[in-house]
Structures are given as structure tokens and as C-alpha cells.
Chain A
Amino acid sequence: MRRQDESPIVVLGSRLLSPYIMLFGLYVIFFGHYSPGGGFQGGTLLAASVLLIRLAGGRRVSRLQIQEFATTPLAVFGVIIYFSTGLVAMIMGGYFLDYEMLPFTGMEPAMVRYWGILIIEVGIGLAVMAILVMIYDNMVKGEDYA
């Protein structure tokens, strides 16, 4: 992978493809509770779109998209979303992660569970994306090829 000069075809192809992969990843996250999909799968697709730019363009270019030090706070933020949803449900009187007790007003219980699942799927997707990107960053840290 020693690069003398970057290949413009690879860079152009990945630049064109990466936003669509990211969009599809968001679609998979948001349809997880209704059709095949969910946090894990969507997070992996989001990570794939970020890693495509890192592989094709190198560190200098991909730093414009997600910085390397930003992945740890993003992952912790994803876990915080998951954990605080459960904690809010527990404070409101139910069991941990009992979505019925979440404080959304004016909805029937099935819709409140729908929204609860959606919130934690977003948290999981964010955490999975940040962690997969962090694993890749750790592996190529200090190497002079990208």
C-alpha cells in the first residue's frame, strides 16, 4: 500500500459512493424496528462509508470528515443515549428499559414503545460506527502509508 501518488479513479469513485452508503445506513437504522435493520447493521454501514474515504484518500483527506480524536467521545455519547433512556424509564417508575414509562405525552402505549426503540437504535448505531472507525484508526496509527 505504498502510495507514490494517489489514483484519481479510486478517489473519485469513493467520493461519489460514500454519501449514498451513508444515506442507506441511516435508512437501515431508522427502519430497524419495522423491517430488517436496526442499530448494529446501520452502524456498520455508516462505518463503511467513513472507512471508504479513509482507505481511498488517506488520513489528510479523511480528517476533514471525522477527526481521529472525535471517535471516543462519539462512542461514549452513543452509550449515554442508550443508558439514559433506560434510566429515565426507571426513574419514571417502571423497570429498566420499560419504554411504556417514557415521558412522551398524548400517545398510546404502543407508539411510546416505538419511539423508545428508535431512540436506543440511534444510540447503538452511533456507538457502533464510532467504534469501528476507532479500531481502524488504531491499526494504522503511525504508519506512513495513509
Chain B
Amino acid sequence: MIDSHLPALIALTFVLFSILIPIFGLWKPKSSQPLAVLGSGIASVLSLYAFATYLQTGSIRYFFGGWEPPVGIEFVYDGLSGFFVLVINVVAFFVFIHSRKVARTEYPGKEMPYFALAMLALLGFNGMILTGDLFNLYVFLEISSLASYGLIAIGSRPAPYAAFRYLIIGTAGGTLYLLGVGFLYTVTGTLNIIDMAAMLPTFATNTAVVAALVLMVVGIGVKAALFPLHGWLPDSYTFASSSSSALIAPIGTKVAAYILFRIVFYLFGVELTDAVAPITTVIGVLAAIGILYGSIMAIAQTEMKRMLAYSSVSQIGYIIMGLSLANPLGFAGALLHVLNHAVMKACLFLVAGNLRMKEGHSDISKFDDSYRKKYPWTMASFSVAAISMVGLPPLAGFFSKWYLALGTIDNENWIFLAVILISSLLNAVYFFRILEKVYMMNPKKDQKEAADAKRNEVSFSMMFPTSVLAIALIVIGFANAAIVGILFNIFPM
């Protein structure tokens, strides 16, 4: 009985806990974080179970209110949405475990609003992924965006200004998406994705449909931090608190990339997307420029969270470039990179949170080699995640770049292949710089720093998620054949 209700239950768990956290939080403020861990834990278990059920039985369509699809709103749980829901819920669970100590130091007294907002943000992300109705997607997009603005504003002193800039740009993007939905509704008369995908081939050259596609891509591109529209990202991720960055950075842009996948592959289809305007080519070129831009800007940064923010701009470029290739290998590479990047970026931001908790800053120019004595587990997790970001086998990052490279060779797109290889080298520059500072002894300076340092590792609740995510990268690297086998089955052709 629970099987048929699974798509709704994953989203409703977050609604339930976003009601429980204010009630219990007004009574006892310390109980907000355990409730948040419990909520995301239940949602992770449900999404694992749902994905296992999907692999056996097939996709589930859930009609709200009992109204059948063209009339009512539905949730569609197929391979693509199941995969994304699984990734974001499991990553969010580990970030919430980590946020226990951070909540006490970085924003004391604001725990109840913070975790309630986090639950609402995850409700918005899950709803965006699961829904099968275009306007419902806009509503969940705005729910998750408003909660993200609040989460980013609870941070350091310039945080509200960064959140305000993100608000203006993000709401303008959402409104452009809404206008695109309006154009599609005017032409076809329906808002359901599956229904509209059957109707669109007859309207392929109507100017309203072309305009709708462009508007939707631009509007969602703002949220996905596609190259020229990424301006909100560095400030927002830098000034937010450690657990906000670790929550929003791995998840937010991926969900916007999911919407792009849904629109380009499922709603319009690849032939229709390129029929009148070369949209996939333009998106691919912008993504390639974004990859190089993000990597070069990341090399120039001295503060670790800002460097990771520019690195996020670069990595989302990989995913969107895989989308623009529009063949099975590129698709599998892009989805595998979604999984890998979510785990890697969460691990890296949690490491930054650990360093900020112990040292008070995460400024790279002040790193020295006493860190390897003081924080052995944290720096080990950082090393695993950094090597995976660069893309060395057998860690997870290598395989997603491998499949992306195979996809570019399939399309005979040699420029993209060169971009992937050059950006891997640039990634190596800014990550190995930190590894060199921490692990190699500086021959000019006095060697007393490392000798005197005592072990001062962070507490278990902060070290555990960081290490688990780092170990997960090794596991995903070894199990990548099975994962890619599943991903090839999801491709809609």
C-alpha cells in the first residue's frame, strides 16, 4: 500500500517535519537539529526504497486529489527523477548530521528558523524533481528559492546583501520561466509534461513555442549558474554559513540542471529543440566557456569557500555540456557527474566548515603544514575529494569525465574534448596548491610548526559525515560500471 504512495510520501515527509520543527522548537530550541536529521533520514530511506522498487517495477504516476492527468496535477517517479531524488536526499542527510556543532557556533539562537527553512528548501527541491506539471514546477521552484534566500542570509555580516542580489536575479529568472510556461499553455492548452510532449511536434515551428523554449532555458539557466548568468553564485556561497553552503551548493544547481534535462530531452525532444534555433549548440558553448572561466577564477582566489564557489560554476558547466551533447554517453557522463559532484562538493564544503570551526577562518594563504598533524581525518577527506575533483582513477571523478570525453568523441566535437582536458589540469593547479601547503614541508621555514602541533580533530558529529562522503567517493569509483548501466537505461531513446 505504501508502494503506490511513494512519490508523494517523499515530499510530504518534509512538509510534516517543517510543521513539527516550529512546534517543538518554540518549546525546546535544542530539538530542531535532531528533528531535521530524522526528517531527512526518513526521506533518504524512502527514496532508496523507491529507487529499488523502480528498478523492479517501473515508473509510478501519482495523481493528486484523484483527478486524472490532463485535468489534475501529478507526480511522476521515473528513472531520471528517482535518481536525482536519491542523490539530493542522501547528501542532505549527511549535511544535517554535520550541522549540529556548526549551529551552536555560527548562528546560536536561530536554530529553529534555520532548520525549518532547510526543511522547506528540501521540500521545494524534491517537489521540483518529482512533479509532472509545468506550473507546479514553478511553485516548487519559488518555494525552494525563497527558502534558499533565507538560508544564505543567516551567515556572516555581508550575507543579507548577497542574499538580496540572489533574490533579485533568481526571481527575475523564475518569472521568465513562468512567461515561457504561459506561451506553451497558450499554444497547447495543457500544462502536463507528458501530455504536452505528445502535442508539441505538431507546433514545432510556431514562434511562440520557440520563444517559450528560449525563455525557459534562460530562466532556468539563472538558477543553474550557466556561464553569463552565474553572477550571484560566488558571493552567496562565500558569505553563507558553513552548513548552508554545504546544503545549497551540492543540491541547488543540480536540480536546475534536472529541469533543463526534463525540458530538452523529455518535453521538447532533441530534434525539436534544434529544429528552429541551435539551442543545444549555444548551451554547449556557454557551458564550455563557463568551465574555463570557473577554473581560471578559482586559481586566483585566496579564500577556500570562494574558490569552491568558482569551482562549482566550472563543474555545473560539465553537466550542462553533457546535456548539450545529446547522445547516450554524454547523458550518462552528465548524470554520473551529478552524483559525483554532489558528494565531492558536499565533502569539500564540510571540510571548509571543519576548518572554520577550529581555526576561525578558511584562508588558504594561512594554511601551514601543522594541519596534517592537527586535523588528520579532515585533511585526508579533503585529499580524497580533491583528487576526485581533478579526475584521477580509481576515484569517482575520473569516470564521469571519461564518459563525458567519450561523448564528445562520439559527436566529433574536439573543442569540447580539449576543454575537458585543459580544465582538469586547471583543477589540479588550485587543489594541489592546498595539498602542497598542508602535506609538503616548507624547507625555508622552521619545521617547528608541524612538530609541535597536537592532534585537535573536530568532534565526531562533524568528522563522521566528512569521512563517510570521502569513502563514498572511493566506493562509487569502484562501482561505477553498475551505476552507468542503470543510467544508460534511463536515457529516453
Interface set of A (CB-CB < 8 Å, partner B): 72-73, 76, 79-80, 83, 86-87, 90, 94-100
Distance from B471 Cβ to chain A, minimum over Cβ atoms (Å): 37
Q: Which of A73, A80, A98 contacts B65 (CB 8 A)?
A: A98
Interface pair B65/A83, CB less than 8 Å apart:
no
Q: Which of A73, A76, A95 contacts B63 (CB 8 A)?
A: A95
Given A83-B16, A95-B65: 14 more A-B contacts, CB < 8 Å:
A76-B22, A76-B23, A79-B19, A80-B19, A83-B12, A83-B19, A86-B12, A90-B5, A95-B62, A95-B64, A95-B66, A96-B8, A96-B12, A97-B64
Which residue of chain A lies nearest to B113 when distances are taken between CB atoms in the complex?
A72
Interface pair B62/A72, CB less than 8 Å apart:
no
Interface pair A76/B8, CB less than 8 Å apart:
no
A80 CB contacts on chain B under 8 angstroms: 19
Does B26 interact with chain A (Cβ within 8 Å)? yes
From B5, B19, B66, residue with most partner A Cβ within 10 Å: B66
Q: 14 A-B Cβ contacts within 8 A?
A: A72-B22, A76-B19, A76-B22, A79-B19, A80-B19, A83-B15, A83-B16, A83-B19, A94-B66, A95-B63, A95-B64, A95-B65, A96-B5, A96-B65
* Bound: A87/B65 CA distance, A: 11
Distance from A48 Cβ to chain B, minimum over Cβ atoms (Å): 23
Asked if A96 meets B64 with Cβ closer than 8 Å, knowing A83-B15, A83-B19, the reply is yes
B65 CB contacts on chain A under 8 angstroms: 95-99
Total A-B Cβ pairs within 8 A: 38
Which residue of chain A lies nearest to B7 when distances are taken between CB atoms in the complex?
A96
A76 CB contacts on chain B under 8 angstroms: 19, 22-23
Kindly identify, within residues 55 to 89 of chain B, every residue whose CB is under 8 Å from any CB belonging to chain A: 62-66
Distance from B16 Cβ to chain A, minimum over Cβ atoms (Å): 7
Distance from B69 Cβ to chain A, minimum over Cβ atoms (Å): 12
B8 CB contacts on chain A under 8 angstroms: 90, 95-96
A95 CB contacts on chain B under 8 angstroms: 5, 8, 62-66
From A76, A80, A90, residue with most partner B Cβ within 10 Å: A76
Distance from B448 Cβ to chain A, minimum over Cβ atoms (Å): 51
Distance from A145 Cβ to chain B, minimum over Cβ atoms (Å): 23
Distance from B77 Cβ to chain A, minimum over Cβ atoms (Å): 14
Which residue of chain B lies nearest to A76 when distances are taken between CB atoms in the complex?
B22
Kindly identify, within residues 36 to 66 of chain B, every residue whose CB is under 8 Å from any CB belonging to chain A: 62-66
Asked if A73 meets B26 with Cβ closer than 8 Å, knowing A96-B64, A96-B65, A98-B65, the reply is yes
Interface pair B26/A98, CB less than 8 Å apart:
no
Interface pair A72/B64, CB less than 8 Å apart:
no
Which residue of chain B lies nearest to A97 when distances are taken between CB atoms in the complex?
B65
B66 CB contacts on chain A under 8 angstroms: 94-95, 98, 100
Which 3 A-B residue pairings sit nearest by Cβ, starting from the closest? A98-B66, A97-B65, A96-B8
* Bound: A86/B5 CA distance, A: 13
Distance from B269 Cβ to chain A, minimum over Cβ atoms (Å): 30
Distance from B371 Cβ to chain A, minimum over Cβ atoms (Å): 42
* Bound: A100/B65 CA distance, A: 9
From A90, A95, A99, A100, residue with most partner B Cβ within 10 Å: A95
Q: Which of B12, B16, B26, B63 contacts A72 (CB 8 A)?
A: B26
A90 CB contacts on chain B under 8 angstroms: 5, 8
* Bound: A86/B19 CA distance, A: 14
Distance from B149 Cβ to chain A, minimum over Cβ atoms (Å): 15
* Bound: A86/B66 CA distance, A: 12
* Bound: A99/B65 CA distance, A: 7
A98 CB contacts on chain B under 8 angstroms: 64-66
* Bound: A98/B68 CA distance, A: 12
A73 CB contacts on chain B under 8 angstroms: 23, 26
Distance from B271 Cβ to chain A, minimum over Cβ atoms (Å): 35
Q: Interface code B97-108, partner A: CB below 8 Å = 1, 0 otherwise?
A: 000000000000
